[in-house]
Amino acid sequence: MSFTGNEGEQITLQEGAEYTLRYRAANPNAVKGVFFGRDHIEAILAQSDCKGLRFYFAKNADGSPTLVIVGADSDQNDQLDLIFQKTAPCPTKCSSSNLLNYDPKLNR
């Protein structure tokens, strides 16, 4: 099956909160998320036949979790000309507290 560019599914804030809470409960000291700048995302998406983004789970040299991001074409293949990683992790580059990144019961 080919990628169409319509893969994925929108979820509610409550669903997102449940997903992220389960992760934070199981990984109390882990990175909560990472930020990629718009310019990098747009550069990846501007590649010929790019249908979306693929995120690879990865680890920095210090062992902390991160993501590697590449484009993927309609044949589901990675587009390897542009690869980004140097992200802004949360913590320390976090949003203000919200349902996706904080639970007062867990104090995290």
What's the number of domains the chain is made of?
1
Q: Where are the alpha helices (DSSP H) in the chain?
A: 13-26, 38-45
- Say if 48 falls within a structural domain: yes
DSSP state of 106: T
DSSP state of 97: S
Domain range for 50 is 31-90
- Say if 37 falls within a structural domain: yes
- Say if 15 falls within a structural domain: no
- Say if 79 falls within a structural domain: yes
Give the pLDDT confidence of 29-52 residue by residue, as tens digits. Answer: 888 888 899 999 999 999 999 999
Burial readout 28-51 (b: 16 or more C-beta within 10 A, e: otherwise): eeebbbbebeeeeeeebeeeeebb
Question: How high is the pLDDT of residue 51?
Answer: 97
Task: Flag whether the pTM goes above 0.85.
Answer: no
Q: In the chain, which stretches have pLDDT less than 50? A: none
